[in-house]
């Protein structure tokens, strides 16, 4: 079993400081702190420089930090101090002239408050963007092991739902059954609120499960994922056919599946994310459904369900081995139904590997109700 090397992750990040033109970095994003330290709490910031690696927290987490972050320097504040006070003191103590902060994580008011604490020093805050997030795009062996586990938990959970569908089940009842099943199989919970949509609800890409009965329409869309004990996630979508489908349902399903499979086939190191998106988007447009596919083709995931890797018409990234991404084209016909098919994909040195194995062919999507 692989173990995370947090010290190596921090060292790799510090090497990027010169290129970013900063002397040190204040890391405030919760998932970024966890990625670099293993700490599972919140309200804690990490200060990194060439000389110091200090995790700032408060008395609530003192014992937890000893267990989760052995060997890492920790500074604990009490109720008479704020994390902004501690951060300013560390910046001043380091004599950094260009301290970096996470511009995508700090609020405007936090930035201004920290800046005000440095007015009598030569330090000038430098907002950075995506330094940790870009490092997180390529997963190490430990992370891939955890993501595989999260995929497996999600697959076991959906097998319970699929084998127990009843005509009188509501979208909400299916959601709760799915969440409970994933916990039964070792998950700490869902990776996000599961999207359960019957018929017209399935035409809403980010629908909330409601009270529509599964027997009201032959299309049941389920977008779900599991979170494992280490905080890593999975993200899948399937459409189940629970009754006699119309010709349009079959056509839309097969167009989406063909677009997804063509896009997956194009994923390899060096391929541009925008080009892979263009493949799926073009196939859907050629079939006459272009205006019904408005979101990006996929995104990175890991500790967060949406991470910085993106496949869309605006993408400027290229694939590298170790990246993990969803591929999820969809067609959404308002007031009728929607189809989205989503799998989790690992970029390998030779091409890619589909991590998820839930059946996806149209003939395999048919699910009978229990009597």
Phi, psi for residue 228 in degrees, rounded to 5:
-95, 180
For the entire predicted model, the pTM comes to 0.96
How does residue 371 score in pLDDT terms, banded at 50, 70 and 90?
A: low
Q: Which residues of 20-50 are buried (b: 16+ CB within 10 A; e: fewer)?
A: eebbbbbbbbbbbbbbbbbbeeeebbbbbbe
Domain with CATH 3.40.350.10 in the chain: 6-136
- The whole-angstrom separation of Cα 217 and Cα 199 is 5
- pLDDT at residue number 242: 97
Residue for token pair 């005509």 = 167
141-364: what fold? Creatine Amidinohydrolase (3.90.230)
Cα-flanking dihedrals φ and ψ of residue 238, to 5°? -135, 150
| Ramachandran class of 212: left when φ > 0, alpha when ψ lies in -120 to 50, beta otherwise | beta
The runs of H, that is alpha helices, within 38-170 are: 62-68, 83-94, 108-116, 131-136, 141-162
pLDDT confidence band for 370 (50 / 70 / 90):
confident
**E-state strands within the chain:** 24-27, 45-49, 53-58, 73-77, 99-102, 126-128, 189-190, 195-198, 219-224, 226-227, 236-241, 298-300, 307-311, 324-327, 330-333, 337-340, 343-347, 352-354
Structural element, H or E, at residue 175: helix 171-184
- CA-wise closest residue to 41 among 29, 30, 32: 30
Q: How confident is the model at residue 118 (pLDDT cuts 50, 70, 90)?
A: very high
pLDDT in tens, 161-177: 999 999 999 999 999 99
What tokens appear for 359 in the block?
Answer: 């059946």
Handedness of CA 153, 158, 163, 169 (dihedral sign): positive
Q: What is the pLDDT of residue 260?
A: 99
Give pLDDT tens digits for 136-152.
Answer: 999 999 999 999 999 99
Q: Which two tokens stand for residue 24?
A: 């040190």
Are 31 and 48 in contact, with CB atoms under 8 Å apart? no
| Distance from C-alpha of 42 to C-alpha of 156, rounded to nearest angstrom | 30
Among 348, 315, 331, 178, which Cα is nearest to 257's? 331
CATH code of the domain made up of 6-136: 3.40.350.10
**Where along the chain do the CATH 3.90.230.10 domains lie?**
141-364
Tokens representing 227 are 């979170």
345-368: pLDDT as tens digits? 999 999 999 999 999 999 999 999
What's the pLDDT score for residue 1? 77
pLDDT tens, residue by residue, 196-227: 999 999 999 999 999 999 999 999 999 999 99
pLDDT digits (tens, 9 = 90+) for 61-117: 999 999 999 999 999 999 999 999 999 999 999 999 999 999 999 999 999 999 999
Query: How many Å apart are CA 5 and CA 35, to the nearest integer?
Result: 10
């Amino acid at each position: 079993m692989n173990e995370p090397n947090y010290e190596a992750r921090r060292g790799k990040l510090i090497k990027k400081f010169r290129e970013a033109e900063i002397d040190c970095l204040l890391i405030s994003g919760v998932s970024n702190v966890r990625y670099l330290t293993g700490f599972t709490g919140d309200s804690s910031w990490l200060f990194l420089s060439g000389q110091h690696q200090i995790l700032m927290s408060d008395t609530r987490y003192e014992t937890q930090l000893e267990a989760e972050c052995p060997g890492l320097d920790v500074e604990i504040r009490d109720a008479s101090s704020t994390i902004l006070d501690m951060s300013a003191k560390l910046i001043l103590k380091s004599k950094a002239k260009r301290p970096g902060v996470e511009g995508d994580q700090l609020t405007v008011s936090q930035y201004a408050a920290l800046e005000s604490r440095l007015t009598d020093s030569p330090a000038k805050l430098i907002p950075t963007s995506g330094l940790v997030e870009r490092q997180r795009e390529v997963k190490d062996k430990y992370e891939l092991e955890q993501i595989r586990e999260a995929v497996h938990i999600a697959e076991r959970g959906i097998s319970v739902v699929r084998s127990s569908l009843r005509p009188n089940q509501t979208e909400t009842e299916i959601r709760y059954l799915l969440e409970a099943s994933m916990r039964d199989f070792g998950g700490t919970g869902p990776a996000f609120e599961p999207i359960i949509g019957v018929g017209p609800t399935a035409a809403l890409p980010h629908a909330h499960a409601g009270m529509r009965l599964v027997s009201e329409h032959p299309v049941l869309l389920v977008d779900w994922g599991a979170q494992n004990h280490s905080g890593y996630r999975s993200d899948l979508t399937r459409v189940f056919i629970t009754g006699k489908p119309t010709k349009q349902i079959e056509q839309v399903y097969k167009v989406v599946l063909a677009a997804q499979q063509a896009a997956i086939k194009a994923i390899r190191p060096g391929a541009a994310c925008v080009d892979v998106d263009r493949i799926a988007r073009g196939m859907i447009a050629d079939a006459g459904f272009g205006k019904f596919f408005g979101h990006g083709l996929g995104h990175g995931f890991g500790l967060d369900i949406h991470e910085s890797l993106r496949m869309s018409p605006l993408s400027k990234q290229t694939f590298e081995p170790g990246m993990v991404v969803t591929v999820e084209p969809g067609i959404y016909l308002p007031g009728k139904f929607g189809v989205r098919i989503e799998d989790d994909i690992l970029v390998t040195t030779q091409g890619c590997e589909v991590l998820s194995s839930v059946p996806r062919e149209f003939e395999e999507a048919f699910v009978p109700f229990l009597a």
